[in-house]
Structure 1
């Protein structure tokens, strides 16, 4: 790492300052959290004074830049950390990415010679190992991602040169690339063609034999149809091999990155949850051995609690850690794995016309395409592990993050349950969505709105939408409307999605018996119950009632509260869920059945209370 001002190298201080600067350089114009900087500087073992020492490091770097003649702050403080503001300055990694992007556009317009020149310019920026003079496990992992981008660019450059008839010049480069990345099939195909066109047919066949051995050992798979067809063509000495174009490798981060939803326009809090997700990067950095799968995180929570916003915010924040692409699919909205897989393969550069016909073959192609790459895959709204089995990337450098309403029994490195926002964060969200002055003028009222919304982000957004469209309303007027429990969900069902629609989607996923239990929760006068009370509601056994309550917990439509001294579990019904349950009860159960259930519950409470009232 070096910093130049007017061509002169600047001394950037001691090892800690160099680590801090390297972390900021790896994420230009993006916030790097203090927690992430702490992990990089002290490798997971920070002192109690780490925050103070980081502030001293940043202050020292600012002095260096100022002394070098930078009029503005190169490093700016932006909670929860710091950001390197590139401004008019240049970062060679950014220039590299821009040149590669330009080359990609030129390839798309069939201007191969110009594209190859841009890639040559991009590759000329590399002067050695990435940040190999900076001692930090976190940085070395991030640096490996940059090096993977370099190798991808080399693959494309060599393929373009081959298409331009410069096959002898690229044999050495392609051989090195295949040695570094033995599972990259496009590089192997290009090397086989380069050998063949250079009169080395035996070497071309040897490259295929090595591919078969590597793929069998590492993945338990045969090489792709592309390599097998090329092998057959070489055996048959097909004349097409001397003139047919070689399809360029098209697994570029930019193609897949478009699938990731944009950063949520308003996002607050969730510091602990983001830190928990950051552990996925740490686990991935540690590695888990050859042949192992991706790092997996599971984020669960009830409808409307903000799982998607959390994961989308985190995924955009760490996107640069996955240079080979970021893939996203809402599998609740589109539950067909074949359609999602087609979308993913398209993002990875596989033309639909070139994809295999059989679904199993397309799954194998996806496994090969991700085997040696660092891909982030986000699957939103997972119903069951079986639903997404064909969408799991193969590479151990990849990461799979799932959101679900259920805590599935599956192997994960991070499991995270998302709850409602605390009061302060909920008020902050209202400030972002409405108007800081409008909320600040009556913070007590804003806290009441947050409480009536249960701290649920979807409900808070709906409440904010009401206030934005009704600029003449005061917060107090909305509070009066929200206090009417019979119409609260009406008030909170504005915008997309509304709170009622979110709860309805969860309710419709229940089995008929569990749905009946959910509806009858609307009869409760208190927010808590146990299996005995639930049994009275449905006139069933205590064991069966507990099973149904646990099904509701699994569906995130009920919360397991605590186990009492009597060994009986208590369950809690969040307010908005209770209101929705009451609506469903009134719409789907007759008045007579409701009265019968209400009477059974009354008798149960009388029996429980009777012993305590005896002398």
Structure 2
């Protein structure tokens, strides 16, 4: 680390604070602090942009939210750099950002480690050690956690942290009482009980300390005070622990006396040889500052009392586990004067059988100067002699490349001064049960560390000459040390190559593993060793996952790939996680855990898929695709209350069990949201592979998400890819469906001319294909454009024709929708009575659908409210609109919410409640800013300007009238432009 480089200290256990040495780092405003806080709450994990937006703006983000998040991230990075930290602390990682601590510190992580150590010491009955660790942990708190940072998510986390602090205080106090430190604990306990009078455990501890300090009367009074609090606040009596303590005090039971301190005899040392077996050190280890600090906890004072300090380093092949273990071993060798033992147990060597503990014991005993003739033959006797020799010595034991607990357990010394460091690719659950005092889950290097490693191999001059290419090279190597060393070695051996040249070679996924598997070190061979160790079904799942071209997935995909039950799929996918072949992304919005590949491991899995026949691979993909189609179609059905407002292709869906389907689709729109990127990727893959029927059907199924959540880019991309596929296949029906989808998008964007042209072509193709239902869906949308253009007779003809078909095929949602449109046409014609009849019929049809009819029920109720507005029945209109707003909020339908708030504001204006109307319309502008609908935004601003004028605020009125005129001008709606100009002209002082 350069002399000017600073280590950052992130502190959230109190007001948010970042320090570079003794200097505080300026963090900017509220948004910057909230975004940094959310990243700090999940260090080392990707936080999506959507999560950051929700944390900053809760449910009301502006249209520019994503841009503002990006600006805040850039400002934070700049602040860290200006503070003297060149590291890339906040890295971009799809679908958001990741805070990588590296060599920097975070007080919550320090707190968790100290508490974990204290808890372990308690379990090992090392109470003095536990007390020191708890005390150090509690000293990290500087006040209320995250003070000064707002937002629902942050406040919830602050509450969780505060509860954690209180629990830790009580655990620490319990240890102090066991150590007889009751008198000095009294002030802290009294303050705790005053602040939290309902915490029975803290009160129990205070009463105990008071009694042991000779203050029996105060102890009884403290009990009675607690009883009064519980009765008055909660209406309950004290729990059994407090009640039993009260009785024990009344009877002066001997069990209440303070315990006597324990003493442990120390055995005399036994002279042995001093082995020095560590392999040569890595001269300059790249990065790994945080990981080395974690291993440093093995050396904490008194941490080895009661047994050897144990450490575990796990990670995927090529991640640098051995290098880290050896480097750390050399750095602390002076602290183990009695020697260092090292053994490679060959847990993943294709040429050698795994080394047994018995074999290692024999070699270790010889290293410890035991003559070969005196080494016992029985494994149990060897282990006993080994433990005896190390009982009172300080020896470091490094066990590398371990695969099972059986290889390790006999090699554990009994001496409290020894330290054992184990490396392995898998999680080794038996070892974790100890648990290890330091567990390093080794991940990829940071981009900065990866570039640093490449620079050491190829020279800083070549790195400086092509900085952009060197970063891309590191990313193509997945930031994996083995791959980086291989790539660096290739460049070093080819001085005439540019970095960009190697980047081009690695950019071809078909040959990337070939490029990184040349010479003695091979990425492919490294992966293969772990792959060969997978159980049969786990290996099969791994290679079949390689067939998928999706960014992430959940466990149901594993079950379908293997044609098995969900429980088996979950078990096998977790085996791949334990083997470091998959990364855990975290829970999605539907509450299901998602997994993903690192790129090189995905490419290796795709290669391994060749072990199965082409017919098997095709069958597996077909099964997954048809299941995706079933789930997407079922999510659509549950969103609409039936198979409404959609036509389907010829691909047969593959249903899951009703129980699993209900579990996955408990919230259908959330499931679609969670699977949005995989579904979009599947549409693209199907279209490219000529599976046109799957592509266009899947696009229609997912459209309900694109419409409701305003994913217009996904909407266009899926439709255009599917359109290309159906045209290439000569698929008339599919082409008509995709032209209709693209027309609906243009209508959403208020390009009515393009939309109507697409609808006309779609209608003609549907008629040619004999698809009456699809044609009726097109007619419904054409009627909506006719109505907005003022061509009311044409609108009614198209609506009437569509209504007949919807009733014939039983599409009740579309029937309700077209009745709603017809009601608007009658309103435009001034026939309020007929409009009311049609609106009420639309509401009746929607209500009969049930829960899935919420979308059409909201539309029909909104139209009925418009009828009430036309009749000047403002209270009835407001009542109806409040129902609409409740429905669309539950659906997260932003556009529907904007429409509902607009109409509610108009109802309140009609009733003369101008200030209330202005507040409602201001909220409507915030919502409308989230959707690209100039007509809605303009209408809201026009109404808000009127309300502001009535509230004697001409400046706000002028701003909104001008904004409305600009919005209407974007889409060329002359009638609304005329209204905005008139409103501006009528303002005082207008020219």
TM category, shorter: 0.5 to 0.7
Q: How many residues align?
A: 380
Determine if the alignment matches structure 1 residue 449 to structure 2 residue 480.
no
* Correspondence for 2:615 among 582, 592, 611: 592
Q: Does the CA contact (< 8 Å) of 1:519 and 1:585 recur in 2?
A: yes
Q: Does the CA contact (< 8 Å) of 1:305 and 1:419 recur in 2?
A: yes
Structure 1 portions without partners, runs of 5+: 1-32, 39-47, 54-78, 80-136, 138-179, 186-248
Determine if the alignment matches structure 1 residue 550 to structure 2 residue 574.
yes
1:253-306 per-position Cα deviation (integer Å, ceiling 9, x unaligned): xxx21x101111442111111111101101xx22454xx220111111111111
* Correspondence for 2:454 among 430, 433, 457: 430
Q: Does the CA contact (< 8 Å) of 1:266 and 1:433 recur in 2?
A: no
Match of 1:472 in 2: 496
Backbone CA RMSD of aligned residues:
2.9
Determine if the alignment matches structure 1 residue 298 to structure 2 residue 312.
yes
Q: Does the CA contact (< 8 Å) of 2:304 and 2:418 recur in 1?
A: no
Match of 1:346 in 2: 366
1:552-594 per-position Cα deviation (integer Å, ceiling 9, x unaligned): 11111111211123221100111111111111111x1000000
1:297-350 per-position Cα deviation (integer Å, ceiling 9, x unaligned): 111111111111111111111111111111111112552222211221122122
Relative contact order: is structure 1 or structure 2 higher (C-alpha 8 Å, sep ≥ 6)?
1
Point out 4+ residue stretches in structure 1 off by more than 6 angstroms: none
What are the within-5 Å matches in structure 2 for residues 251-290 of structure 1?
A: 251-252=273-274, 256-257=275-276, 259-282=277-300, 285-287=301-303, 289=305
Match of 1:503 in 2: 527
Separation of aligned partners in 1, 2:474 and 2:520: 19
Q: Does the CA contact (< 8 Å) of 1:373 and 1:395 recur in 2?
A: yes
Who wins on radius of gyration, i.e. which is larger?
Answer: 2
Q: Does the CA contact (< 8 Å) of 1:372 and 1:397 recur in 2?
A: yes
Determine if the alignment matches structure 1 residue 397 to structure 2 residue 398.
no
What are the within-5 Å matches in structure 2 for residues 506-517 of structure 1?
A: 506-517=530-541
What are the within-5 Å matches in structure 2 for residues 2-81 of structure 1?
A: none
Match of 1:133 in 2: none
1:146-200 per-position Cα deviation (integer Å, ceiling 9, x unaligned): xxxxxxxxxxxxxxxxxxxxxxxxxxxxxxxxxx974434xxxxxxxxxxxxxxx
Match of 2:240 in 1: none
Q: Does the CA contact (< 8 Å) of 1:465 and 1:495 recur in 2?
A: no
Q: CA deviation at 1:357?
A: 2.6
Q: CA deviation at 1:505?
A: 0.8
Match of 1:184 in 2: 269
Structure 2 portions without partners, runs of 5+: 10-17, 24-84, 86-131, 133-264, 637-701, 705-813, 815-991
Distance 1:564 1:251, change over 3 A: same
Match of 2:91 in 1: none
Match of 1:230 in 2: none
Q: Does the CA contact (< 8 Å) of 1:528 and 1:570 recur in 2?
A: yes
Separation of aligned partners in 1, 2:450 and 2:333: 27
1:396-415 per-position Cα deviation (integer Å, ceiling 9, x unaligned): 11111111222223211122
Determine if the alignment matches structure 1 residue 491 to structure 2 residue 491.
no
What are the within-5 Å matches in structure 2 for residues 171-320 of structure 1?
A: 182-185=267-270, 249-252=271-274, 256-257=275-276, 259-282=277-300, 285-287=301-303, 289=305, 292-320=306-334
Q: CA deviation at 1:511?
A: 0.5
1:582-614 per-position Cα deviation (integer Å, ceiling 9, x unaligned): 11111x100000011111122122233332435
Structure 2 SS opposite 1:552: helix
Distance 1:461 1:50, change over 3 A: closer
Q: Does the CA contact (< 8 Å) of 2:312 and 2:440 recur in 1?
A: yes
Match of 1:7 in 2: none
Q: Does the CA contact (< 8 Å) of 1:527 and 1:574 recur in 2?
A: no
* Correspondence for 2:594 among 565, 570, 573: 570
Distance 1:596 1:266, change over 3 A: farther
1:451-470 per-position Cα deviation (integer Å, ceiling 9, x unaligned): 00000001101111211222
Separation of aligned partners in 1, 2:369 and 2:312: 28
Match of 2:337 in 1: 323
Match of 1:613 in 2: 703
Q: Does the CA contact (< 8 Å) of 1:183 and 1:371 recur in 2?
A: no
Separation of aligned partners in 1, 2:20 and 2:486: 41
Separation of aligned partners in 2, 1:473 and 1:606: 47
Separation of aligned partners in 1, 2:284 and 2:520: 15
Determine if the alignment matches structure 1 residue 358 to structure 2 residue 378.
yes
Which structure features the higher share of helix residues?
2
Match of 2:443 in 1: 419
Q: CA deviation at 1:497?
A: 3.2
Separation of aligned partners in 2, 1:533 and 1:322: 50
Q: Does the CA contact (< 8 Å) of 1:183 and 1:368 recur in 2?
A: no
Q: CA deviation at 1:34?
A: 11
Q: Does the CA contact (< 8 Å) of 1:319 and 1:326 recur in 2?
A: yes
Q: CA deviation at 1:389?
A: 1.3
Separation of aligned partners in 2, 1:49 and 1:580: 43
Q: CA deviation at 1:51?
A: 5.2
Q: Does the CA contact (< 8 Å) of 2:338 and 2:394 recur in 1?
A: yes
Q: CA deviation at 1:532?
A: 1.7
Q: CA deviation at 1:520?
A: 0.4
What are the within-5 Å matches in structure 2 for residues 95-114 of structure 1?
A: none
Match of 1:75 in 2: none
Match of 1:601 in 2: 624
Structure 2 SS opposite 1:381: strand
Match of 1:373 in 2: 393
Match of 2:101 in 1: none
Distance 1:573 1:49, change over 3 A: closer
Distance 1:438 1:369, change over 3 A: same
Structure 1 SS opposite 2:370: coil
